A and B are shown apart, each in its own frame.
Chain A
């Protein structure tokens, strides 16, 4: 039993507890996986030590935050990093008042002199500070407009980097002040090499095919992949004796619905996952769909997940006519919207499946 009183547990946190996502964040921009174009541009900017205002956008887990963090580390070094970089993300208060006070105060301070770094290396240390606004698309319109002037007024001593998933949610005046960098979903080879590297470094014992499954489920989101791996590892090392990570537990962790369940659901809607629309299955009608939906909600599967998987499974089936597919896709899209707005999972999914059934029956 450890004595709780030991105050040591503060900063030097247990590396075992540290999320691998943090632990294996790229240290330099050259470590960033598979964003060659962006990295090339940034490398040039780094060499000239002159950064524009930047806007990073792209799907989650593609390395946006990692890139800007690595970049700023390379620019300022570990010592100045604290004083020169302000990172704010969605969980921090970022209402208009914060923009007006915190960001503005930080933005207008003139950066202090450049000293020699403690680790002996020399860093470019350009004479400006960097403000990173992670998840900038969740900032309110007001807060964004308040930023406009600040970005211009203090551009001599402060650079901004906005990071977001949806560039459309950034107001036009802000977007036009930044150079935009698009981050693509990671291709499978680079993410595979990365995940293998981590698995080896952490000594994760995996069944065959597990890493592939992880990458498939993560769908280009490297953070998701690493998190899956870590969670699975945690689960399996906890058993006595530790067991290798299995496909089963990856499924469970990721919350992915087993393919059998999805196929059953498809059959109740009149679709054979192998051969397309099947008249026999169509006859099940209302009751068949109902029973399947009941089963799914009883098992606690998330409707959004089911919907996504139904979509992925249904749309590629070649023998289904385009009109039927279009109607099904429409039903799925509308159901997804309803779920996003907080609709009841069971009833929304049920309605969607009935509509797909009707579309298939035509």
Chain B
């Protein structure tokens, strides 16, 4: 009963559907015995983790897929307990240190030290080093990154790091220069349709082109999303024909409703109403940036060109504030207020003063 996205996830480098050159490179690196630290980066749903697991399999064989989860408890200097979940096999260990926020340095140092000081436990292991995968490496604090840098040199003998990040911008230069940078671009539309058809074939049904096009255009390069949408669509309409509307996730439609509300009426009263909706989105674990971006995208679709620029400008402006600040809702609300004002001003005056842009 696995979802397709998990069921048909490639397990070896050979099974990967796209970026063949990259696969070949990874294969030769794994075979060379001179495996470097690697930093995988690329957008969400492009296949970074899949490639990492394939590479590990190439390194160690199928044993690496025997995963287990350990929950470790750390005690911070301020006596707070931290639960850290660690996924590991006999050959590798995987951490998401950003889960613990500002204490990530302690967690990284402890776990890495422990791993690095241990010899490979498996006599039959193909490599004498263990691999440590660090997820969301771009969310690591600077302290933690600095700590990593030292460790990378010190424990090169029996440990390799694989970092996984959305972008390299937030990774400090010393780490970047110590890693092999591997960019995993999102698949092109053709590549995606190849994957979709592959899945359809395995599931033994025919995927009509309009359906695959609809899926691909809605998922903008996120293969995970595409496959999930695909399966949802198949469930709703088994023959995949006729007028297909791609099911949007609950939060996305809700963000759309907020955008519509903004355009329908601009007043403090409406803003008050919208505040409730924003709170609901945030409290249900939708990241504030995603909320803002989704609303902004929806707005941009529906307004005149003049206003579009303003909307993007203010989105960027408040998005940054939201990152820096701590109470996200304040900035979201200020964003909505500003957009309302801009839009109302535009509809009333019919023109736009460009002053605020520069």
Using a CB–CB cutoff of 8 Å, the interface residues on chain A facing chain B are: 1-2, 4-5, 9-10, 13-14, 16-17, 19, 60, 89-92, 138, 223-224, 227, 231, 234-235, 237-240, 252-255, 285-286, 294, 297-305, 327, 330, 338-339, 341-348, 350-352, 354-355, 358-359
- The answer to whether B157 and A347 have CB atoms under 8 Å apart is no
B282: min CB distance to chain A, Å = 16
- The answer to whether B31 and A234 have CB atoms under 8 Å apart is no
Please name all residues of chain B whose beta carbon is closer than 8 Å to the beta carbon of A9 when the two chains form the complex.
128, 157-158
Please name all residues of chain A whose beta carbon is closer than 8 Å to the beta carbon of B156 when the two chains form the complex.
13, 17
- From B28, B32, B150, B180, give the contact of A231 (CB < 8 A): B180
- The answer to whether B309 and A302 have CB atoms under 8 Å apart is no
A233: min CB distance to chain B, Å = 10
Bound-state Cα–Cα, A192 to B167, Å: 31
Using a CB–CB cutoff of 8 Å, the interface residues on chain B facing chain A are: 24-25, 28-29, 31-32, 34, 36, 41-43, 46, 119-120, 123, 125-126, 128, 146-151, 153, 156-158, 166-170, 173, 176-178, 180-181, 183-186, 220-221, 289, 293, 296, 300, 305, 308-309, 312-313, 315-317, 319-320, 323-324, 354, 357-358
A259: min CB distance to chain B, Å = 16
Bound-state Cα–Cα, A354 to B157, Å: 48
- The answer to whether A90 and B146 have CB atoms under 8 Å apart is yes
23 contacts between A and B (CB under 8 A): A4-B123, A17-B156, A19-B178, A60-B173, A91-B146, A92-B150, A231-B36, A234-B34, A235-B25, A239-B25, A239-B28, A252-B183, A298-B221, A301-B183, A303-B169, A338-B320, A344-B293, A345-B169, A346-B293, A347-B293, A347-B312, A350-B316, A351-B316
When C-beta atoms are compared, the residue in chain A nearest to B354 turns out to be: A358
- From A227, A305, A330, give the contact of B177 (CB < 8 A): A227
- The answer to whether B305 and A286 have CB atoms under 8 Å apart is yes
B352: min CB distance to chain A, Å = 12
- The answer to whether A347 and B319 have CB atoms under 8 Å apart is yes
Given contacts A9-B157, A239-B28, contact A2 B167 (CB under 8 A): no
Given contacts A294-B220, A341-B324, A355-B357, contact A238 B31 (CB under 8 A): yes
Q: How many A-B residue pairs have CB under 8 A?
A: 158
Bound-state Cα–Cα, A60 to B324, Å: 27
When C-beta atoms are compared, the residue in chain B nearest to A335 turns out to be: B316
Lowest 6 A-B CB distances belong to which pairs?
A91-B150, A351-B316, A300-B42, A238-B32, A238-B28, A298-B221
Please name all residues of chain B whose beta carbon is closer than 8 Å to the beta carbon of A304 when the two chains form the complex.
168-169
- The answer to whether A342 and B308 have CB atoms under 8 Å apart is no
- The answer to whether B313 and A355 have CB atoms under 8 Å apart is yes
- The answer to whether A1 and B36 have CB atoms under 8 Å apart is no
- The answer to whether B324 and A4 have CB atoms under 8 Å apart is no
When C-beta atoms are compared, the residue in chain A nearest to B48 turns out to be: A300
B20: min CB distance to chain A, Å = 14
